[in-house]
Amino acid sequence: MNERALRPDRRTEILTKAAELFAHSGFHGVSIDDLGAAVGLTGPALYRYFPGKEAILSAMLIDISERLLAGGEQRVAAHEAPRNALSALVDFQVDFALDNTDLINVQMRDLAAMPESEQRIVRRLQAKYVSLWTDALMEIRPIDRDEARAAAQATFGLINSTPHSAWLSRPDMARLLQGMALAALAITPTPE
Protein backbone atom coordinates (compact mmCIF):
# COMPACT_ATOMS: atom_id res chain seq x y z
CA MET A 1 0.00 0.00 0.00
CA ASN A 2 1.41 3.42 -0.88
CA GLU A 3 1.97 6.27 1.57
CA ARG A 4 -0.89 8.34 0.09
CA ALA A 5 -3.33 5.57 0.90
CA LEU A 6 -1.96 5.37 4.44
CA ARG A 7 -2.01 9.14 5.00
CA PRO A 8 -4.78 10.72 2.90
CA ASP A 9 -4.61 13.88 5.00
CA ARG A 10 -0.92 14.39 4.20
CA ARG A 11 -1.67 16.63 1.20
CA THR A 12 -3.86 18.83 3.43
CA GLU A 13 -1.11 18.93 6.05
CA ILE A 14 1.43 19.98 3.40
CA LEU A 15 -0.89 22.69 2.04
CA THR A 16 -1.60 24.05 5.52
CA LYS A 17 2.07 24.20 6.47
CA ALA A 18 2.99 25.67 3.08
CA ALA A 19 0.42 28.45 3.58
CA GLU A 20 1.97 29.25 6.96
CA LEU A 21 5.53 29.25 5.61
CA PHE A 22 4.68 31.17 2.42
CA ALA A 23 2.73 33.76 4.45
CA HIS A 24 5.71 34.29 6.74
CA SER A 25 8.62 34.12 4.28
CA GLY A 26 7.04 34.47 0.85
CA PHE A 27 6.80 31.78 -1.81
CA HIS A 28 10.33 32.47 -3.05
CA GLY A 29 11.71 32.52 0.50
CA VAL A 30 10.71 28.91 1.23
CA SER A 31 12.63 26.00 -0.28
CA ILE A 32 11.21 22.57 -0.93
CA ASP A 33 13.58 21.32 1.80
CA ASP A 34 12.17 23.90 4.25
CA LEU A 35 8.66 22.75 3.52
CA GLY A 36 9.59 19.06 3.75
CA ALA A 37 11.26 19.58 7.12
CA ALA A 38 8.21 21.45 8.41
CA VAL A 39 5.99 18.42 7.73
CA GLY A 40 8.50 15.76 8.75
CA LEU A 41 9.59 14.71 5.26
CA THR A 42 12.64 15.23 3.15
CA GLY A 43 12.13 17.86 0.47
CA PRO A 44 12.25 15.28 -2.32
CA ALA A 45 9.61 13.17 -0.52
CA LEU A 46 7.13 16.00 -1.14
CA TYR A 47 7.26 15.07 -4.84
CA ARG A 48 5.12 12.02 -3.97
CA TYR A 49 2.31 14.47 -3.25
CA PHE A 50 3.01 17.42 -5.56
CA PRO A 51 5.19 17.72 -8.68
CA GLY A 52 6.83 20.88 -7.34
CA LYS A 53 6.55 23.97 -5.18
CA GLU A 54 4.49 25.82 -7.81
CA ALA A 55 2.00 22.94 -7.78
CA ILE A 56 1.66 23.33 -4.02
CA LEU A 57 0.93 27.03 -4.40
CA SER A 58 -1.53 26.36 -7.22
CA ALA A 59 -3.36 23.63 -5.29
CA MET A 60 -3.57 25.91 -2.26
CA LEU A 61 -5.00 28.94 -4.07
CA ILE A 62 -7.28 27.02 -6.44
CA ASP A 63 -8.69 25.01 -3.52
CA ILE A 64 -9.48 28.07 -1.43
CA SER A 65 -11.00 29.84 -4.43
CA GLU A 66 -13.25 26.83 -5.08
CA ARG A 67 -14.26 26.69 -1.41
CA LEU A 68 -15.04 30.41 -1.32
CA LEU A 69 -17.23 30.14 -4.42
CA ALA A 70 -19.05 27.04 -3.14
CA GLY A 71 -19.60 28.62 0.28
CA GLY A 72 -20.84 31.84 -1.31
CA GLU A 73 -23.25 29.96 -3.56
CA GLN A 74 -24.62 28.09 -0.53
CA ARG A 75 -25.21 31.35 1.35
CA VAL A 76 -27.01 32.96 -1.57
CA ALA A 77 -29.16 29.86 -2.13
CA ALA A 78 -30.15 29.80 1.55
CA HIS A 79 -31.68 33.31 1.46
CA GLU A 80 -34.52 34.59 -0.68
CA ALA A 81 -34.10 38.23 0.34
CA PRO A 82 -31.08 39.79 -1.42
CA ARG A 83 -30.26 41.83 1.72
CA ASN A 84 -29.98 38.67 3.75
CA ALA A 85 -27.99 36.90 1.05
CA LEU A 86 -25.50 39.76 1.00
CA SER A 87 -25.38 39.83 4.80
CA ALA A 88 -24.67 36.08 4.78
CA LEU A 89 -21.91 36.65 2.21
CA VAL A 90 -20.38 39.29 4.48
CA ASP A 91 -20.50 36.92 7.47
CA PHE A 92 -18.95 34.16 5.37
CA GLN A 93 -16.12 36.41 4.13
CA VAL A 94 -15.44 37.67 7.65
CA ASP A 95 -15.19 34.11 8.96
CA PHE A 96 -12.90 33.20 6.07
CA ALA A 97 -10.66 36.21 6.69
CA LEU A 98 -10.39 35.56 10.42
CA ASP A 99 -9.72 31.84 9.96
CA ASN A 100 -7.38 32.00 6.96
CA THR A 101 -4.99 34.90 7.45
CA ASP A 102 -2.08 32.93 5.99
CA LEU A 103 -3.99 32.20 2.79
CA ILE A 104 -4.96 35.85 2.43
CA ASN A 105 -1.33 36.90 2.72
CA VAL A 106 -0.19 34.24 0.23
CA GLN A 107 -2.96 35.19 -2.23
CA MET A 108 -2.08 38.88 -2.06
CA ARG A 109 1.66 38.42 -2.38
CA ASP A 110 2.31 35.23 -4.32
CA LEU A 111 -0.48 34.69 -6.86
CA ALA A 112 1.87 35.84 -9.63
CA ALA A 113 4.27 32.98 -8.76
CA MET A 114 1.72 30.47 -10.05
CA PRO A 115 1.79 29.32 -13.67
CA GLU A 116 -0.37 31.56 -15.86
CA SER A 117 -2.90 28.80 -16.59
CA GLU A 118 -3.55 28.27 -12.86
CA GLN A 119 -3.74 32.03 -12.27
CA ARG A 120 -6.54 32.13 -14.86
CA ILE A 121 -8.41 29.41 -12.95
CA VAL A 122 -8.13 31.36 -9.69
CA ARG A 123 -9.18 34.62 -11.38
CA ARG A 124 -12.19 32.91 -13.01
CA LEU A 125 -13.31 31.45 -9.66
CA GLN A 126 -12.79 34.81 -7.96
CA ALA A 127 -14.83 36.58 -10.64
CA LYS A 128 -17.73 34.19 -10.04
CA TYR A 129 -17.51 34.85 -6.30
CA VAL A 130 -17.49 38.62 -6.87
CA SER A 131 -20.53 38.20 -9.14
CA LEU A 132 -22.50 36.67 -6.27
CA TRP A 133 -21.91 39.84 -4.29
CA THR A 134 -22.46 42.10 -7.30
CA ASP A 135 -25.80 40.50 -8.21
CA ALA A 136 -27.11 40.69 -4.64
CA LEU A 137 -26.00 44.31 -4.26
CA MET A 138 -27.63 45.34 -7.55
CA GLU A 139 -30.93 43.86 -6.34
CA ILE A 140 -30.75 46.04 -3.24
CA ARG A 141 -29.37 49.33 -4.50
CA PRO A 142 -29.92 51.21 -7.76
CA ILE A 143 -26.33 50.97 -9.03
CA ASP A 144 -24.78 49.61 -12.18
CA ARG A 145 -22.67 46.46 -12.39
CA ASP A 146 -19.31 48.25 -12.41
CA GLU A 147 -20.15 50.22 -9.27
CA ALA A 148 -21.53 47.12 -7.54
CA ARG A 149 -18.40 45.14 -8.43
CA ALA A 150 -16.17 47.96 -7.18
CA ALA A 151 -18.16 48.15 -3.93
CA ALA A 152 -17.86 44.38 -3.44
CA GLN A 153 -14.11 44.41 -4.06
CA ALA A 154 -13.59 47.40 -1.76
CA THR A 155 -15.49 45.50 0.92
CA PHE A 156 -13.21 42.49 0.42
CA GLY A 157 -10.28 44.85 0.96
CA LEU A 158 -11.77 46.05 4.23
CA ILE A 159 -12.49 42.53 5.45
CA ASN A 160 -9.27 40.97 4.16
CA SER A 161 -7.14 43.58 5.94
CA THR A 162 -7.75 41.43 9.03
CA PRO A 163 -4.29 39.80 8.94
CA HIS A 164 -2.86 43.26 9.52
CA SER A 165 -5.37 44.53 12.10
CA ALA A 166 -6.68 41.68 14.27
CA TRP A 167 -6.11 43.29 17.64
CA LEU A 168 -9.44 42.30 19.14
CA SER A 169 -10.79 38.93 20.20
CA ARG A 170 -12.15 36.88 17.32
CA PRO A 171 -15.84 37.49 18.21
CA ASP A 172 -15.24 41.22 18.67
CA MET A 173 -13.26 41.45 15.44
CA ALA A 174 -15.99 39.53 13.59
CA ARG A 175 -18.68 41.90 14.86
CA LEU A 176 -16.58 44.94 13.98
CA LEU A 177 -15.83 43.72 10.45
CA GLN A 178 -19.42 42.64 9.81
CA GLY A 179 -20.76 46.01 10.94
CA MET A 180 -18.18 47.97 8.94
CA ALA A 181 -18.75 45.88 5.79
CA LEU A 182 -22.54 46.19 5.97
CA ALA A 183 -22.25 49.93 6.59
CA ALA A 184 -19.85 50.28 3.65
CA LEU A 185 -22.38 48.50 1.44
CA ALA A 186 -25.25 50.50 3.00
CA ILE A 187 -27.07 47.25 3.83
CA THR A 188 -29.33 46.38 6.72
CA PRO A 189 -30.47 42.74 6.75
CA THR A 190 -34.25 42.24 6.92
CA PRO A 191 -36.13 39.32 8.44
CA GLU A 192 -37.12 36.72 5.85
Which residue stretches of 26-52 are H helix? Answer: 32-38
Cα–Cα distance, 54 to 51 (Å, whole number): 8
pLDDT at 3: 47
Q: Which of 111, 98, 133, 1 is nearest to 57 (CA)?
A: 111
191 pLDDT more than 70: no
Per-residue pLDDT tens digits for 13-62:
999 999 999 999 999 999 999 999 999 998 888 999 999 999 999 999 99
Q: What is the mean pLDDT of the chain?
A: 90
Mean pLDDT of the region 71-86: 95
| Distance spanning both ends of the chain, measured CA to CA | 53
Which superfamily, per CATH, for 54-185? Tetracycline Repressor, domain 2 (1.10.357.10)
Cα–Cα distance, 65 to 129 (Å, whole number): 8
Enumerate the domain spans of the chain. 54-185
91 pLDDT more than 90: yes
Per-residue pLDDT tens digits for 124-133:
999 999 999 9
Cα–Cα distance, 133 to 108 (Å, whole number): 20
Per-residue pLDDT tens digits for 160-185:
987 666 678 889 999 999 999 999 99
Per-residue pLDDT tens digits for 141-165:
889 999 999 999 999 999 998 766 6
Judge whether 27 and 57 are in contact, CB under 8 Å.
Answer: yes
What pLDDT band is residue 186 in, cutting at 50, 70 and 90?
Answer: confident
The distance from CA 62 to its chain's CA centroid, rounded to whole angstroms, is 9
Judge whether 186 and 136 are in contact, CB under 8 Å.
Answer: no
